[in-house]
Amino acid sequence: MRVVVVGHGMVGSRVAEELVTADPTAEVTVLGKEPVPAYNRVLLSSVVAGSKDPSLLSVAGPAHPRLRVLTGVGAVDVDRTARVVHDDAGETHPYDALVLATGSAARVPAIQGVALDTGLVPGVFVLKDMADATGIVEATRSARRAVVLGAGVLGIEVATGLAARGLAVRVVHLGERLMERQLGWEASQVAVASLERMGITTHVGSSVVGVTTRRGRLDGVRFGDGLEAAADLFVMCTGTVPDTMLARRAGLTCDRGVVVEDDLRSPDDPAVFAVGDCAQPPGGATGLVAQGWEQARRVVLRLARADAVDPAASTTDVVRVKASGMSMVSMGLSGDFDRDDPRHRVLSLKDPERGRFVEVVVSGGMLVGATCLGDAEVGATLSALYTRSMPVPEDPALLMVRALSGGGPGVVSRAPADLEDGDRVCTCNSVTAGTIRAALADGCRTAADVSARTRASTGCGDCRTTVEALVAHAADGHQQDIEHDPDLVRSES
Ligand SMILES: Cc1cc2nc3c(=O)[nH]c(=O)nc-3n(C[C@H](O)[C@H](O)[C@H](O)COP(=O)(O)OP(=O)(O)OC[C@H]3O[C@@H](n4cnc5c(N)ncnc54)[C@H](O)[C@@H]3O)c2cc1C
């Protein structure tokens, strides 16, 4: 079976690598437009902040005799009648199945003067790929004042990252509060105060309508109200749009993304699938990597076993902001929802002086939503409780503060021994504690071994400390087994 995958990003690379392992007849060709093999795109804002080195982001697997990866080669056309893909190097690639994994593109708003025929004005950036991230880092070497447009998750990550590099940063956001999908009014006010303490000025309900240049380089931005601010770096974080260009040209039905059925197949052509950020499945796309990797798993299963029927598994909606110097996590009911709904009990704690805000939403004895700013420990406990669907304590207020002993609210243990086998540890890859224990029982000794075997912590990396704790716990158990084994004696030599 000849399979062509278009896009060597986080999801396309996963499809290709898993398919050659799952199906011994699969011959897979991947076309990747970027000049570098697949890497962990989720961590690009950490590259901007200087907390991750670009060289450590690769997610491309080892070479395989039935896997051909063409780096720096774009697909330009698909002939669905002849079942071939044409690339920009003039080569054609015949297929029995085609998987589109073209991802998404950064949305560039219509701002006067921002773009030239050759691309964005020097000093103006989006953050979508490695070239953008390294370009921004390079620009920070001579820049002093940055403006970030958009205070969604990515905008906040970029703004705090640039502030961590010592730049004076302004965040401009059209909405009336920051991160409105994740934060309610009060949480947003606390976030504004925390950002200001970090030297970041926020302009909410505002927009950038134009940029000014000097000798061909950005030197300022113009706001909607006519005011101007000097800037030598302008980063637009205003969302993404699924990349449907190739699919549209091939005559496939596209709406916001490439329209696919439940089994990720195009309704127009049984030989064509779409996965990841470019796809629009019936339940909608989240734009999060966990959904793309779950789709990759199902497409591989379907291609390797034509009769396989595997419904979509739920993926998490916990959103963590990788912001330098500021912890933020939200899940379930958060942002805009009816706080007066009698079915929900909503409790909150607001402590702007310490940059702390915690809101928990309880229904039927379970946590159905939470927002936590400024307390990583409480945030981690809330996400553990939410993802493990554990009952909340009789007094949910206990969830909002750390116990005096410092061990969390005292009701939800995150100790490795207390994780049930079915508890999800890595939400990006849907890896449970049981899978990690099985890998440890099967010879994995380090967190790196476990990641290589199970893929745990290869996404956003938030679960790394839990994986390390499970490894350490297993090592302790192993040591105790040795110490208590009457048949083992220590050599004196
Ligand atoms: C800065 C940043 C931070 C993020 N943070 C998070 C996060 O914290 N959590 C989270 O879950 N998600 C996050 N995301 C989203 C996550 O990265 C995506 O969901 C994920 O990368 C989707 O994978 P994909 O393979 O569908 O698309 P991509 O990883 O975007 O890969 C698509 C690839 O296809 C290539 N391509 C496109 N057209 C062609 C063509 N015609 N021929 C050949 N190649 C082509 C592109 O160049 C690209 O390399 C973040 C994204 C960004 C940019």
pLDDT at 261: 95
462 close to ligand 1 (CB < 6 Angstrom): no
Length, in residues, of the chain? 493
Task: Measure 159 CA to ligand 1 centroid, in angstroms.
Answer: 21
Given a cut of 60, whether residue 493 has pLDDT beyond it is: no
d(CA 183, CA 190): 10
Please tell me the residue having the least CA distance from ligand 1 atom 15.
Answer: 288
Whether ligand 1 lies within 6 angstroms of the CB of 75 is answered as: yes
Nearest to 259 by CA among 287, 281, 292, 242: 281
Higher per-residue pLDDT: 66 or 407: 66
Q: How confident is the model at residue 402 (pLDDT cuts 50, 70, 90)?
A: confident
- H helices of 206-288, in order, are 245-249
244 lines ligand 1 (CB under 6 A): no
* Per-residue pLDDT tens over the stretch 277-307: 999 999 899 999 999 999 999 999 999 987 6
491 against 420, higher pLDDT: 420
- 72 burial class (0-12, 13-18, 19+ CB within 10 angstroms)? middle
**How sure is the predictor about 487, in pLDDT bands with cuts at 50, 70 and 90?**
low
Distance CA 191, CA 374 (A): 9
Q: Nearest residue CA, atom 50 of ligand 1?
A: 42
Cross-strand partners of 86: 77, 92
The yes-or-no verdict on residue 324 having pLDDT over 50 is yes
C-alpha 300 – ligand 1 centre gap (Å): 19
Q: Which residues pair with 201 in a beta bridge?
A: 170
CA 268 – ligand 1 centroid, Å: 25
- Is residue 269 classed as helix, strand or coil in its secondary structure? strand
At residue 479 the predicted structure's pLDDT band, cuts being 50, 70 and 90, is low
pLDDT in tens, 20-44: 999 999 999 999 999 999 999 999 9
pLDDT of 490 = 57
Protein residue closest via CA to atom 14 of ligand 1: 42
CA of 210 to the centre of ligand 1 (A): 28
Q: Is the pLDDT of residue 416 over 90?
A: no
d(CA 320, CA 314): 18
Name the residue with higher pLDDT: 488 or 134: 134
Q: Please tell me the predicted confidence (pLDDT) of residue 488.
A: 60
SS3 231: coil
Nearest to 26 by CA among 90, 82, 99, 84: 99
Mutate to test the pocket of ligand 1, among 4, 5, 10, 69 (most ligand atoms within 8 A of CB): 10
**Global model pTM greater than 0.85:** yes
Distance between Cα 289 and ligand 1 center (Å):
8
274 Cβ closer than 6 Å to some ligand 1 atom: no
User: Does ligand 1 come within 6 angstroms of the Cβ of 136?
Assistant: no
**CA 286 to ligand 1 center in whole angstroms:** 12
Average pLDDT estimate for 248-271: 97
d(CA 252, CA 246): 9
Q: Which residue has the higher pLDDT, 385 or 77?
A: 77
Note the maximum CA span of the chain: 82
Residue nearest to atom 18 of ligand 1 (CA): 289
Confidence of residue 384 (pLDDT cuts 50, 70, 90): confident
What would the mean pLDDT of 333-360 be, rounded to a whole number? 93
Sheet strands (E) in 324-442: 326-332, 345-351, 356-363, 366-373, 424-426, 431-432
Q: What is the pLDDT of residues 79-111, one digit of tens each?
A: 999 999 999 999 999 999 999 999 999 999 999
Question: Helices 185-197 and 153-164 sit at what angle, rounded to 10 degrees?
Answer: 20
For residue 450, what pLDDT is reported? 93
Question: Cα–Cα distance between 449 and 459 in angstroms, integer?
Answer: 15
Q: In terms of Cα–Cα distance, which of 357, 344, 340 is closest to 396? A: 344
Mean pLDDT value of segment 337-361: 93
Q: What is the pLDDT of residue 19?
A: 97
Q: What's the whole-number average pLDDT of the chain?
A: 91
Helix axis angle, 130-140 to 153-164, nearest 10°: 40
Instruction: Give the containing element (helix H, strand E) for 44.
Output: helix 44-49
Helix axes 433-441, 447-454, angle to 10 degrees: 110
Strands 145-149 and 168-173: parallel
Q: Which long-range contacts (C-beta less than 8 Å, at least 24 apart) are formed by 129-133?
A: 129/34, 129/41, 129/44, 130/34, 130/36, 130/39, 130/44, 130/47, 130/54, 130/57, 131/34, 131/35, 132/44, 132/106, 133/44, 133/45, 133/47, 133/48, 133/54
Indicate whether residue 288 lines ligand 1 (CB < 6 A): yes
Residue of 371, 387, 399 whose CA lies nearest to 426:
387
Residue 309 has pLDDT above 60, yes or no: yes
* pLDDT reading at 60 higher than 60: yes
Q: Is the CB of 44 under 6 A from ligand 1?
A: yes
CB of residue 287 inside a 6 A radius of ligand 1: yes
Q: Is the CB of 242 under 6 A from ligand 1?
A: no
Backbone angles phi, psi at 398, to 5 degrees: -60, -20
Nearest-CA residue for atom 45 of ligand 1 = 7
Question: How far away, in angstroms, is 211 Cα from ligand 1 center?
Answer: 28
Cβ–ligand 1 distance for 292 under 6 Å, the answer yes
Of 172, 10, 32, residue with least CA distance to 93: 32
pLDDT tens for each residue of 232-256: 999 999 999 999 999 999 999 999 9
Q: Where are the alpha helices (DSSP H) in 260-331?
A: 289-304
Count of C-beta atoms within a 10 Å radius of residue 446: 13
Using pLDDT thresholds of 50, 70 and 90, give the confidence band for residue 326.
Answer: confident
Nearest CA, atom 20, ligand 1: 289
The per-residue pLDDT for range 430-443, each reduced to its tens digit, is: 899 999 999 999 99
By most ligand atoms within 8 Å of CB, the mutation choice from 36, 95, 102 for ligand 1 is: 102
| Structure confidence by residue, pLDDT tens digits, 179-237 | 999 999 999 999 999 999 999 999 999 999 999 999 999 999 999 888 999 999 999 99
- Residues 438, 432: Cα–Cα separation, whole Å: 10
Number of alpha carbons in the 13 Å side-chain half-sphere of residue 319: 24
Per the structure block, which two tokens stand in for 244?
A: 């449907």
Report the nearest atom of ligand 1 relative to the CA of 9. Answer: 31
- At residue 478, the pLDDT reads 64
What are the tokens at 402? 């750390």
- % of the chain residues with pLDDT over 70: 93
Burial 409-425 (b: 16+ CB within 10 A, else e): bbbbebebeebeeebbb
Q: Is the CB of 321 under 6 A from ligand 1?
A: no
Ligand 1 geometric centre to CA of 333 (Å): 26
Task: For each of the domains in the chain, give its residue range(s) and CATH number, in order of start.
Answer: 2-103+241-304 (3.50.50.60), 115-238 (3.50.50.60), 325-414 (3.30.390.30), 420-493 (1.10.10.1100)
52 lines ligand 1 (CB under 6 A): no
Give the residue ranges of DSSP H helices in 69-221. 130-140, 153-164, 185-197
pLDDT of residue 410: 46
Phi, psi of 418 (to 5 degrees): -90, -5
461: Cβ below 6 Å to ligand 1? no
- Test site for ligand 1: of 4, 29, 30, 33, most ligand atoms within 8 A of the Cβ: 33
